[in-house]
Amino acid sequence: MMMDYWQRVYRRSRRQYQRLSWRTLHLDPWLLLALLTIVAGGLIVLYSAGGESTHLVEAQALRFAAAFLIMLLIAQFSPRTMQRFAWFFYVVVILMLVAVDVIGTHAMGAQRWLTIPGVIRFQPSELMKLAMPMTIAAYLSRRVLPPGWLDLLVCLLLMGFPVALIANQPDLGTSMLVTASAVFVILLAGLSWRFVAVCAGFGIAAMPLLWFNMHQYQRQRVLTFLNPESDPLGTGWNIIQSKTAIGSGGIHGKGWMQGTQSQLEFLPERHTDFIVAVLAEEFGLIGMAVLMSCYLLLIWRGLYMATQAHDTFGRLLGGSLILTFFVYVFVNVGMVSGVLPVVGVPLPLISYGGTASVTLMAGFGMLMAVFTHHKTTPR
C-alpha cells in the first residue's frame, strides 16, 4: 500500500513538472509536435525534389532551426506587449515595402526583395502577413464589437495600402494572403453575415475591373487554368505536368526518389511551389492523406488555442493566423492539382524558402503566446 501511494505521488509530481516546464517556456507541446512532424517529412520530400541535394536540405534545416528559435522567442511576449507594438511593427513593414518599390532587388520578373549586401536577402511582404492581423486586431480589440461602418473603413484603409504595394511588385499570392489575414480578423470580430453577403456581391460585380487591372502574365494564368491544353508546351506545361505527377502516383506511390516526372525534371519548380506533386507521385494517395491529416490536426489545435485566448486581441489574432494558414495550404494544393489558378503560393512548412519559413514559425509563436500567457488585458 505504501509503495502504491509513493508511486501515485511520483506520477502526479512528474505530470505537474511537465506541465510547468511547457508553461514556463510558453509552448504548446501538441502544436509543437505537429510542426516538427510536418517539417521532418518536408525535409525528406525536399531531398528527393531537390535532386538528392544535401545542400538544399541542410540550408532548409538551418532556416527552420532559426525559425524555431524565433518562435520560442516570440512566444515569450505577452499578448499585451504584442498589442502595444503592433502599430510600430506595421509602420516599419510599410516602410520596407516602400523601400522595395524604390530600391528592391529584381528576380524572376518581379521586384519583391530587399538585399543587405553580404548579409541577407529577404521579402518584406512576408512580414505583412503578421503585421496586418496584429494591427487590425489591436485596433478592433479597443473598439465596441461588432465593428461599425467607421471601424470597417479604418480597417479597409489599413489593409488597402500595403496590399496595393504588394500587388504592384507584382505578387498576387502574397497580396491575397495578406488580404485574407485582415478579412479573418474582421469576420471574427462579429461582422454581420448579411454585410458579408453584400460585400461578396459587390466583389463579384467588380471582377471585370480586377481583370483589366491584372498583369498580362496573371491573366494568362487564369486562361491557362480554364484550359491548360490550349498551350501544352508553354503556359499550360506546369499544370499538365503537375496533374500527371499526381495521377501517376496512384494509391501507394512510386517510392521515395522513384518519381519520373520529378526525377526526370519534367515537373517545374518541384522544390518550391509544386513540391506537393512530388510527394503525391512518390508516396501516392496514402502519403497525401497522411500530410493532410497532419495539417488538419495542426489547424484544429490552432483553432482550439485561439478560442482559449484570454482577451479579445488574442482571440482575433490567433484565429486569423491559423485560418490564414488554412488558406495557405488550400491555395497551394488547389493550384497544383488544377482546382485553382497558379498564383505562386508555396506549401507551408514543406516548400523550400527562407523568409516564408521564418514568418510561419513566428506566427505560431504568436499563437502559443496568446494561448499560454495569463490574462493581461480586459476582454
By DSSP bridging, strand 120-122 and strand 105-107 are unpaired
Cell of residue 375, nine digits: 490574462
Residue 46 lies in a domain: yes
pLDDT at residue 375, as a whole number: 45
Confidence of residue 131 (pLDDT cuts 50, 70, 90): very high
Convert the pLDDT of each residue in 51-83 to its tens digit: 788 888 999 999 999 999 999 999 999 999 999
DSSP 60: H
Which structural domain, as residue segments, surrounds residue 195?
A: 25-372
Residue 252 lies in a domain: yes
DSSP-assigned letters across all residues of 268-300: TTTTTTTHHHHHHHHHHHHHHHHHHHHHHHHHH
Number of compact structural domains in the chain: 1
Cell of residue 10, nine digits: 511520483
Residue 14 lies in a domain: no
Residue 262 lies in a domain: yes
Residue 7 lies in a domain: no
Confidence of residue 111 (pLDDT cuts 50, 70, 90): confident
Residue 229 lies in a domain: yes
Residues in Cβ contact with 145 at an 8 Å cutoff, skipping those fewer than 6 apart:
189, 190, 312
Residue 20 lies in a domain: no
Least confident of 27-31, 232-236, 288-292, 375-379: 375-379
Residue 19 lies in a domain: no
